[in-house]
Amino acid sequence: MSTHDEERLSRGLHDRAGDVSGAPVGLDEVKRSARGIRRRRRLATGLVAAAVVAVAVPVGLNAAGGPDAGRPVAPATTSPSGAPTRAGTPEPTPTLPNPEGGIPLTVRKAPAGQPAKVGYLRGRTYVAPDGTTRELPAAYDTVAPYRGGWLAVQRKQGTPYVVQVDSSGAVVSSQPGGDRIVTSDDGVEVSWVAGGKLYLDGTNGHSDTPQSIDLPAGADASPVGFVGPGTVLARVGAAQPEFWVTNFSGHQVLQGRILAVRATSMQRGLLGVETSYNSNDGTSCWKVATNQGGDREPASCDWTVNAFSPRGGFVAGYPSGVDGLGSSTVALLDAGTLAVKVRFDRVGNGETFVSDVAWEDDSHVLATLYEDGSWHLVRLGLDGGIQTVDQAPGAPEQSPFHFAAHP
Amino acid sequence: MDVGTTDRDADFAAYMAARQPSLLRTAYLLTGDRHTAEDLVQTAFAKLYLSWDRVQRRELVDGYVRRILVNEHNSLWRRAFKRREVASGELPETRAAPDRPDDGESAALWAFVQTLPRKQRAVIVLRYYEDLSEAETAEVLGISVGTVKSQASRALAAMRSRVHDHPGITQDSVREEER
């Protein structure tokens, strides 16, 4: 092989491709294509699941040790509700395991529950835990009660801004910042990133000057969560982020293989850490970092670690290969083992998925669910129960529901 | 707290805008046809969109989307082959009509590239157009570095023989390699 030939070939290819241009592909077109791909994948998955059920149910086998270990076991019967759900066949009731073994993730036949115990956004409306509502100046990505008003994150042309809104609903300030606002377990401490600094207000606005530390110039940063009183874990950087733990008098950088941290537990000092990512199939591995040393830390390549329950005993997660539009399965896991306590699975092949979850108390998770062309706020229980809490219209790509920062 | 669809879409749209022209050129070199290249890029972006939340390390995205592009191209070829196999038993026509007038060595080189089996063509495009290393090319294509070396070496040897010595080469002479 000669360099001359390689150069000729390279030059020839560059000459040929140099002036190639085409009609620009827009995001809407890409999303439409993505929805089509998603539907085809679901159809294929449904057919495979049907084949598996057809074989496994009569024999009564249940594989142990996989991602489904510990989940409620489907009865080895062939009742109508045990058959794969197809168009024109009866839907299983919400209280029976569906053919894939989990609780049907659907609002059909789900009873209406009590109002949510955590605040959330429905479009521009803030719904407080006591059920009262308040119109905000804009549709924000998240809010946190602050100084009698709110701190909010608003996306402007892709850049997150941290906006302070006073009790009258007037915008007090707005500056580029992080895409999260986090609060401590007691709701008193609030942390956010704005103007190149990571802030901590330990008095929820009752002090004149919040504490802060400087971030590297131009760093894309955001708090992830509290890991102790006055101690915040923050993501610093986007492409190869560092994870800082700071008490605002200095900071330490977490060491080890950490691709992302999605969850923290303030009470138990736990982190939900992504440790690896497989670019071939899009799956990832996660662990619960206990920071205790010695003991083996719970890990899983089947489930993500999205959110810890308030006392840190449980985790809400999705299958590790979940795609970008949302997850058709939500699992509540034991944080000590990452074994499944209960899982909720989409019924049939419809466009049903969850875009976000937040623990409401130590037994219940709130989830933003898209089903039948509408968005729903639902309550999922460790006991397998499912209740409807709120509903709003919206395109599948754009949930109107966003959870407020909450303990 | 929801990271937000708007966050994802904004990030994704920015990435798409930045990489679309380059990916289209690569897709064109793989397919030899602008319309097929546009379809290929749109499908690759759609699949990337579905995976966007999982791609935590943005420096890996380019490799990932290239892999989608190549795999999707192979997949399209296989589907086309099956359809034609049922209909006529003939191999698919892979050479598109020239999109622009061309002559001389450049035309001969392009005609040669279009005769390459699609996997070898992908090696050539990634190595000598995308300027990927042998290891990076192997990673994108999911093959060994040795295979990349041998495929590239054979292509260069064929190019020397055919383009240098017989610039009027036609694709029919190497069509058998696709089998």
B129 and B59 within one domain: no
**pLDDT one-digit tens code per residue, A26-37:** 888 888 888 877
pLDDT on residue A187:
81
Q: Between A9, A23, A405, which is nearest B159 by CB?
A: A9
Phi-psi region of A147 (alpha: psi -120 to 50; beta: other; left: phi over 0): left
Gap between the Cα atoms of A312 and A70, Å rounded: 19
Complex ipTM value: 0.78
Q: What is the pLDDT of residue A357?
A: 95
Answer yes or no: do B158 and B176 share one domain.
Answer: yes
- The pLDDT score that the predictor gives to residue A407 is 62
Q: Is the pLDDT score of A94 beyond 70?
A: no
| CA distance linking residue B153 with residue B142, whole number of Å | 18
Question: What pLDDT was estimated at residue A87?
Answer: 29
Sequence-separated contacts (24+) of A122-127 with Cβ below 8 Å: A122/A390, A122/A392, A122/A400, A122/A401, A123/A392, A123/A400, A126/A150, A126/A404, A127/A390
Q: What is the pLDDT of residue A52?
A: 32
Distance from CA of A116 to the nearest CA of B (A): 15
β-bridge partners, A358:
A366
B29 in the same domain as B61: yes
What would the pLDDT profile of A218-259 be if each residue is shown by its tens digit? Answer: 888 999 999 888 899 999 987 678 999 999 998 999 888 888
Distance CA A64, CA A54 (A): 19
Residues B78 and B105 in one domain: no
User: How far is B48 from B57, CA to CA, in rounded Å?
Assistant: 13
A130 confidence band (pLDDT: 50, 70, 90): confident
Given an 8 Å threshold on Cβ–Cβ distance, is B67 in contact with A279?
yes
Chain-chain contact of A182 with B1 (C-beta, under 8 angstroms): yes
What is the pLDDT of chain A when averaged over all its residues? 80
Residue A122 β-bridge partners? A125, A401
A78 has pLDDT over 60 = no
**B85–A contact, CB cutoff 8 A:** no
Q: Is the domain of B12 the same as that of B94?
A: yes
Q: Give yes or no: residues B78 and B6 share one domain.
A: yes
Q: What is the C-alpha to C-alpha distance for residues B61 and A36, in angstroms, rounded to an integer?
A: 22
Mutate to test the interface with B, among A279, A283, A322, A399 (most CBs of B within 10 A): A279
Instruction: Return the CATH number at B74.
Output: 1.10.1740
Q: Which letter does DSSP use for residue A402 in this model? A: E
* CA-wise closest residue to A260 among A278, A247, A243: A243
Contact A25 B159 (CB under 8 A): no
State which of B99, B124, B159 marks the end of a domain: B99
Check pLDDT > 80 for residue A5.
yes
pLDDT (mean) for A383-402: 91
My answer on whether B70 and B108 are in the same domain is: no
Whether B113 and B92 map to the same domain: the answer is no
* Any A CB within 8 A of B147 CB: no
Q: Flag if B2 and A158 touch (Cβ within 8 Å).
A: no
Distance from the Cα of A131 to chain B's closest Cα (Å) equals 19
What domain count does chain B have?
2
Tokens of A121: 């956004």
Segment among A79-88, A104-113, A198-207 with least mean pLDDT: A79-88
Q: Which residues of A touch B113 (CB under 8 A)?
A: 12-13, 16
- Pairing state between β A197-201 and A211-214: antiparallel
Q: Would you call B59 and A12 a contact, using CB atoms and an 8 Å cutoff?
A: no
Per-residue tens of pLDDT for chain B, all 179 residues: 444 566 778 888 888 988 899 999 999 999 988 888 998 999 899 888 887 776 656 667 888 888 888 888 876 655 544 443 333 333 333 344 344 444 567 788 888 888 888 888 999 999 999 999 888 888 888 778 888 888 898 888 888 877 665 544 434 433 333 33
Domain end: B78, B99, B120, which one? Answer: B99
How many residue contacts between A and B have a Cβ separation below 8 Å?
A: 186
Instruction: Output the pLDDT for position A323.
Output: 60
B74 and B111 inside one domain: no
Q: Enter the pTM of the model.
A: 0.59
C-alpha to C-alpha distance for A175 and A177, rounded to whole angstroms: 6
Residues of A in contact with B4 (CB under 8 A): 141-142, 155, 179, 402
Euclidean distance between CA atoms A391 and A360, whole angstroms: 17
Find the residue in B nearest to A5 (Cα). B156
The last residue of one of the domains, among B66, B99, B132, is B99
Token pair, residue A230, equals 């006055």
- A82 pLDDT tier (thresholds 50, 70, 90): very low
Cβ atoms < 10 Å from Cβ of A70: 19
User: Is residue B75 less than 8 Å (CB to CB) from chain A?
Assistant: no
Whether the pLDDT of residue A90 is over 70: the answer is no
Domains and CATH numbers, chain A: 120-403 (2.130.10.10)
Instruction: Report d(CA B175, CA B179) in Å as an integer.
Output: 8
Measured between beta carbons, the chain A residues lying within 8 angstroms of B46 are: 30-31, 33-34, 36-37
Range with lowest mean pLDDT among A132-141, A294-303, A312-321: A294-303
**In this structure, are B89 and B140 located in the same domain?**
no
Domain that holds residue B50: 1-99
CATH number of the domain that residue B170 is part of: 1.10.10.10
pLDDT mean over A177-199? 92
Do both B106 and B152 map to the same domain?
yes
Of A343-347, A365-369, B135-139, B149-153, minimum mean pLDDT range: B135-139
B160 and B118 within one domain: yes
Residue B34 contacts A where some CB pair is shorter than 8 Å: yes
Which residue in the set A20, A325, A399 is minimally distant from B24, CB to CB? A20
Asked whether the beta carbons of residue B42 and residue A5 sit closer than 8 angstroms, the reply is no
Q: Dmax over Cα atoms in chain A, in whole Å?
A: 75
The predicted-structure confidence for A162-172, as pLDDT tens digits, reads as follows 999 998 989 99
User: What does the pLDDT read at residue A269?
Assistant: 85
pLDDT at B52: 79
Residue A365 structure tokens: 């998770």
